[in-house]
């Protein structure tokens, strides 16, 4: 099933009030996106992470610790995904009709079990 049809069903039929975009620190996908290797079909899924890394290149270059850099990229990726989702016609239409709908950007810490609330829209 197409992701946008799932989103539309959730917003229009189920009338969900909260959508969560949740990444996690230590994400293998973020690591794979930045390892410099090609990963076959999964590259289509990794490309948005690479695009985010390119966009925030200057900020990421200021972080010397490799794990901290990947963690920050995870946060930036979630941030960009929340923004992208908020720009879809499905969400825009819901907000134009004053639907009670929020999008939350979270990052889960595998090591400490804490959820960091990055962004809500």
Give the pLDDT band of residue 97 (cuts 50, 70, 90).
Answer: very high
The tally of domains found in the chain comes to 1
Tell me the residue range of the domain where 116 lies.
3-120
In tens, the pLDDT along 24-62 reads 999 999 999 999 888 899 999 999 999 999 999 999 999
In tens, the pLDDT along 61-75 reads 999 999 999 999 999
Measured N-to-C along each axis, helices 89-96 and 66-86 cross at an angle, to the nearest 10 degrees, of: 60
Mean pLDDT of the chain, nearest integer: 94
Q: How far is CA 56 from CA 6, 59, 109, in A?
A: 30, 5, 22
CATH number of the CATH domain containing 66: 3.40.1050.10
Angle at alpha carbon of residue 57, lines to 56 and 59, rounded to 5°: 70
Q: What's the whole-model pTM score?
A: 0.90
């Amino acid at each position: 099933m197409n992701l946008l049809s799932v989103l539309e069903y959730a917003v229009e039929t189920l009338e969900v009030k909260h959508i969560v975009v949740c990444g996690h620190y230590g994400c293998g996908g973020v690591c794979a996106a930045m390892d410099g290797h090609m990963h076959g079909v999964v590259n289509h899924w990794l490309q948005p992470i690479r695009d985010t890394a390119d966009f925030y290149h200057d900020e990421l270059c200021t972080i010397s610790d490799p794990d901290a850099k990947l963690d920050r990229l995870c946060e930036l990726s979630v941030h960009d995904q929340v923004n992208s989702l908020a720009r879809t016609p499905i969400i825009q239409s819901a907000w134009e009709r004053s639907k009670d709908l929020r999008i939350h950007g979270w990052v889960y810490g595998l090591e400490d079990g804490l959820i960091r609330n990055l962004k809500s829209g």
